[in-house]
Structure 1
């Protein structure tokens, strides 16, 4: 299964870069191999509801069509 992890750079919930690294490490540890991640600058936790959300939706669509 392919996973696309998306997060906002200003997300107070994920714990910043370390939290994201830990989450991706946990996924790899349980066996996921096809993991892509993207951090969006100037966005917080709900990247799909941010002002520049069209960029996020485009990236998600491109990931799904791969």
Structure 2
């Protein structure tokens, strides 16, 4: 979602504008996309532990 929220370093003028965009993006998510994200959670959490809570560039 972050990539969709901030294409080309987009800046939102208000919290309401940001919330509206989040709603649009959330509604556009496909079931398969959500399923893939859920299935990737265990490996993402493992990466967090290995990286000692640092940033994860692959995600």
TM-score between the two structures when normalised by the length of structure 1: 0.33
Rg (Cα) greater in structure:
2
Higher relative contact order (CA 8 A, sep 6+): 1
TM-score between the two structures when normalised by the length of structure 2: 0.35
Bigger proportion of residues as strand: 1
Bigger proportion of residues as helix: 2
